[in-house]
Structure 1
């Protein structure tokens, strides 16, 4: 019985030891990268000018394709999650639900290439990346981690475009049914 308890205690503390190792890996790996990326993005905004960034956002809101691809991409890249949703101020009321749907759906696909965009949920990408890295080390991965990140990004853009179009359509139907003018 004593050995069983000792084994349980060792396993329990082992979980925290492994967690500590992962934390140290983050501190020496991804955290400095995130800090530098955030600093770079804020520096770009300062250099370009916030008004110019807003002007580009207003332009991107002009048609359905840019409204649900370029605008969410710019919002998530420059403002990161959750501030990205504030780019909705550049849209007419009837487009805001679809923009939100597109932007919220893009915070994960962008993380593989630009981890600063959604650092709070970076663990999702890091979990996938750890699995692919093991496969690459074993020589059994059919693609590289970089290729996965690019595919994730491109598929994310296609998905947010489709979601934006469908959500805009649903919003029109519901507004018409409820007698609301947007």
Structure 2
């Protein structure tokens, strides 16, 4: 009988804890996400979509901007999964590298801009909780994630673009050799 009572108390306790967590999200993180998202869309509306479009087209021409500024802007302005649509501004052979850069930036952005990829927020908060318990600042972690993310995104974009161009070149050589042979 004692075990049944213990099970009943702890079983319902599990749901009570879940309800408390849900309530904390509804009073804490959800309003923050809504305000951040509203702010981002307000900035885009203030600047003008045409100007933003021109700026992205400009960035797509230069490798340094294509794998630093473009992924950051796409993730911050369009969030996941719409961020990939900025790929329409890059050449076909640069699309895999741009996709790689955007995908790589979806986690590091979460600490400073949680609305950008809300699905990763739980991962970041789990890590941040451990860092906070160790006596360090969650804000410092978020800034470091962001900075390292920009560096890694750039490196991945450049490397993936070079690999893609190499593979395209190799494939075109194979195809031209086949057409000469036939």
Task: Output the TM-score relative to the length of structure 1.
Answer: 0.89
Deviations 1:45-94 (A, max 9, x none): 11111111111111111211111111000000111111110001110111
Deviation at 1:3, TM superposition (A): 2.4
Inter-partner Cα distance in structure 2 for 1:12 and 1:155: 42
Q: Unaligned 5+ residue runs, structure 1?
A: 136-140
Q: Deviating runs (4+, > 4 A) in structure 1?
A: none
Q: Unaligned 5+ residue runs, structure 2?
A: 176-182
Instruction: Indicate the residue corresponding to 1:127 in structure 2.
Output: 126
Q: How does 1:90-109 map to 2 (within 5 A)?
A: 90-109=89-108
Partner secondary structure for residue 179 of structure 1 = helix
Instruction: Indicate the residue corresponding to 2:156 in structure 1.
Output: 163
Instruction: Indicate the residue corresponding to 1:68 in structure 2.
Output: 67
Instruction: Indicate the residue corresponding to 1:27 in structure 2.
Output: 26
Inter-partner Cα distance in structure 2 for 1:44 and 1:38: 10
Inter-partner Cα distance in structure 2 for 1:109 and 1:94: 26
RMSD over aligned CA atoms reads 1.7
Aligned residues: 174
Bigger shift: residues 148-157 or 121-130: 121-130
Partner secondary structure for residue 33 of structure 1 = helix
Deviation at 1:158, TM superposition (A): 0.8
Inter-partner Cα distance in structure 1 for 2:41 and 2:128: 27
Inter-partner Cα distance in structure 1 for 2:13 and 2:133: 22
Instruction: Indicate the residue corresponding to 2:78 in structure 1.
Output: 79
Deviation at 1:175, TM superposition (A): 1.5
Inter-partner Cα distance in structure 1 for 2:120 and 2:70: 21
